[in-house]
Homo-oligomer: A and B are copies of this chain.
């Protein structure tokens, strides 16, 4: 098996190391349609080229989460093939829309390392950047994963845990060039609620539910060239279940959030996120949101809104953690992001 990639283990990472991930990917009309087939996505900016143009963009960009998935997918063979757990995200920013015809590459810099006290695993922190064919950074984010050691006798590296912002300062959010919501058509977008209508602390039950299917999560995960075998091989886990890629749940919950947040058009910041419990085929996913913050932006008619997006597989909306501070068993996802909304 000398020629196959068995992935990196904890001792293969070193601080400051930059990994150029393989297999650049061109995206276009096919990825766009598939995103609409796989998720109940309805945000008008991504559905209608005309709506995007009326908002100052040349056409509909690739869905922000699809861009994230492509960039993320490339990192899997190098970062998470031997990961025990995906521990968190921080400092995610979308820096430039991705359009049909663009080709994306990813690279990751190791910004932190910490061996666990059991000596068998360690935590690796990477800052990943996605760039297009013009070498423009289209997005970046930090994630940290727990990775197995190949050799438990390998010496522990010096512990470096990066200081990460809990929340992206709204002043650091990048608004796509030309974005203008001054003439925003609320009727076409689907809801009348504007930035002014949302209050910090407000919660929204997105009502709808979608039952997960093996064929759908596998097609979605493959589309982003994410190759982690646990998503595809029913013989990999003792229980015969395929673990669903966490990003599938993110996209599903975001699409469900249209109902109540139809005007939270563009995602520009990812403050943090946790895949609270694993998701499997047959579960029915629902979603709720909480308004965490609001901020003005310099773009005409554009406000920023910070949202908590929670995906569940049951239970009542708005319940997140138990008395022990742990996520309730029905919670699948707790995501904290900034979106742009007409004021």
What residues of chain A have their CB less than 8 Å away from a CB belonging to chain B?
A: 1, 3-6, 20, 22-34, 36-40, 42, 44, 47-51, 60, 77, 100-101, 103, 105, 133, 187-191, 193, 197, 204-211, 213-216, 218-220, 222-223, 225, 227, 229, 232-236, 242, 259-262, 282, 284
Contact = CB atoms under 8 A, between A and B. Distances in A.
A40 B224 CA distance: 9
A3 to B, nearest CB: 4
A220 B47 contact: no
Contacts of A20: 187-188
Given A4-B207, A233-B208, A225 B42 contact: yes
Most buried by B among A26, A48, A260: A26
A5 B191 contact: yes
Contacts of A236: 209
A223 B39 CA distance: 8
22 contacts: A5-B190, A5-B259, A22-B42, A22-B44, A22-B191, A23-B42, A24-B50, A24-B51, A29-B33, A31-B33, A33-B34, A33-B223, A36-B222, A37-B219, A37-B222, A40-B222, A40-B232, A208-B227, A208-B233, A209-B233, A209-B236, A215-B216
Contacts of A211: 214, 232-235, 242
A204 B4 contact: yes
A5 B282 CA distance: 26
A187 B19 CA distance: 10
